[in-house]
Structure 1
Amino acid sequence: MKVMQLTAYENTLASQLSGGNKRKLCVALALMGGTNMQFFDEPSSGVDPIARRFLWNAIQQGVKLRQSSVILTTHTMDEAESLCNKIAIQVNGRFACLGSVQHLRSKFGDGYRVVIEPINNLDKDATMLQLITKDYQNNRPNIIQEITKHFGNIYIVDDMHSGKIICKFPLAGFQFHQTFHFFQEKLQKELQLIKDFQISQPNLEQIFMQFAAQQTIEEVVQKKESPNRCHVVALCGNDEDD
């Protein structure tokens, strides 16, 4: 009761608890048995962000103290990534993949993205539209020329709203150290064309949406189910990536 912060409700019927406190009570009942394996079905569904983080911490502490394992289903990618070291994505009742978050990113992601913020050469009183237009007129051709010269013909996206340049690199053959060194040492320090840059991989939610998109209309019609039948099953264990 103390761990779940439910002592104030010890004389209250479970049916009279709020949704968040009912979730806390359910998690407490699952953890108090001290079993080697617990199963949770969307444990933080319907609770506010603070209560959600609290439940995640409680589950993690229970696993750590008892050296137990947890299997949970969720539609919240943050929950799966925060709680578990193995994640399986289920599509139409079948497992489509199984592995760590990094394994899923490497195997099913569409490569790396580099988001570039060009140097702004205008004064502080310039409007946002002027900043964006001037940045692109002054620096964009030089930035793209240097990138193309070094990496070849890669896919480049213009984000006119933010004034940033987005480069997409294929996963095969990507070398993180060399790429980081080029943008930092060449474009940022030597040529002073960019203010900042960020290298990232697709997040878990984007990978989840890729699997969700694999469902065909025929399967949905045959099963008479909603198109959103893609689930994440997250596991705390040592299973092999697949």
Structure 2
Amino acid sequence: MCGVLKEKNAFPHLIFQVFPKDRERLIDMYIKGLEIEEHKDKPSKNCSGGTKRKISYIISSMDRGAILTTHSMEEADALCSRVGIMVKGSLRCIGSCQHLKNKYGGGYKLEIKVKGVSTETNGETSEDKKKEVHQLIKDIFYDAEIDEEFGDRIIYKISQHNMKSLGKCFAVMEKGKSESKIEKYSLSQTTLEQVFLKFARLQEEDTEEM
């Protein structure tokens, strides 16, 4: 895409209100400002993830309406205010990225590193520590399920409707850290990529039934 940005008529639908003589100057200004001059003649598929995000920023900064087609959900998430997903030529959903994540996503994943599971602390064994953390999670998320567990790490699946308050979740996690139960944690929502793959599986299932 860097190479495309340098084309004389690059993205006329995005920058049609800019005089043709000014287009290259403006594109050069963005490329220099984001320090990606060395990549300016590369196709986007050969660029790193960080460079792709910078290119997405350039396009989004054009402040013009456009319809883009892509299989890169990272690109869609960065560029688009509204996203539609098509299955077998039919539009199956449309809305903001956050709306699609909330409606079609699988909720949240909470990854926890339990503190001190490899050693005994104040008479507590590794299993005791894990049980305490598990009870802590069940107290705030009654339907939380263990998705993966290995060593001192536990990954929970939390449904969308059970996430009543992010603030409460973080407060409980920080309390767990202060009580030496949790070493660190991360909370992430279903990505747009996972929503896209969900619809892709529906297409595969429809094809198999035919």
| TM-score calculated relative to the size of structure 1 | 0.62
Match of 1:4 in 2: none
Q: Distance in 2 between matches of 1:59 and 1:77?
A: 16
Q: Percent identity?
A: 27
Aligned to 2:86: 90
**1:204 matched to 2:192:** yes
Correspondence for 1:33: 16
Distance between the aligned counterparts of 1:145 and 1:117, measured in 2? 15
2:68 maps to 72
Amino acid at match of 2:108: Y
CA displacement at 1:46 relative to structure 2: 3.0
TM superposition shift of 1:168 = 1.5
Letter in 1 for 2:153: K
Q: Is the Cα–Cα contact under 8 Å of residues 109 and 156 in structure 2 kept in the other structure?
A: yes
> Retained in 2: the 8 A contact 1:118–1:135?
no
Q: CA deviation at 1:197?
A: 1.5
Counterparts of 2:61 and 2:185, CA distance in 1? 37
Tell me how large the CA RMSD over aligned residues is.
3.1
Determine the C-alpha separation between the residues in 1 that align with 2:139 and 2:59.
Answer: 50
State the secondary structure of the residue aligned to 1:74.
coil
Quote how far apart the aligned CAs of 1:204 are.
0.8
- Counterpart CA distance in 1 for 2:135 and 2:17 is 61
1:169 paired residue number: 158
**Amino acid in structure 2 at the alignment position of 1:207:** V
The alpha carbon displacement at 1:20 in A equals 5.0
Structure with higher RCO (Cα < 8 A, 6+ apart)? 1
For 1:81, the equivalent position in structure 2 comes to 77
1:23 Cα deviation (Å)?
5.7
Aligned equivalent of 1:109, options 90, 99, 105: 105
Separation in 1 of the partners of 2:193 and 2:168?
28
Q: CA deviation at 1:69?
A: 0.3
Amino acid at match of 1:211: F
Change (3 A) 1:118 1:83: same
Q: Is the 8 A contact 2:140 2:169 kept in 1?
A: no
Change in 2 beyond 3 A, CA 1:84/1:149: closer
Q: Is the strand fraction higher in 1 or 2? A: 1
The separation in 1 between residues aligned to 2:114 and 2:105, in whole angstroms, is 27
Give the Å deviation of 1:206: 0.7
- Asked if 2 retains the 8 angstrom alpha-carbon contact of 1:20 and 1:47, the reply is no
* Residue equivalent to 2:27: none
Structure 1 equivalent of residue 144 of structure 2: 154
Q: Tell me if structure 1 keeps the 8 A contact 2:111–2:154.
A: yes
Contact residue 114 and residue 200 of structure 1 kept, 8 A: yes
Structure 1: unaligned runs, 5 residues or longer? 1-18, 36-43, 124-133, 223-242
Contact 2:108 2:160 in 1 (8 A): yes
Indicate the residue corresponding to 1:8 in structure 2: none
Which residue does 1:100 correspond to in 2? 96
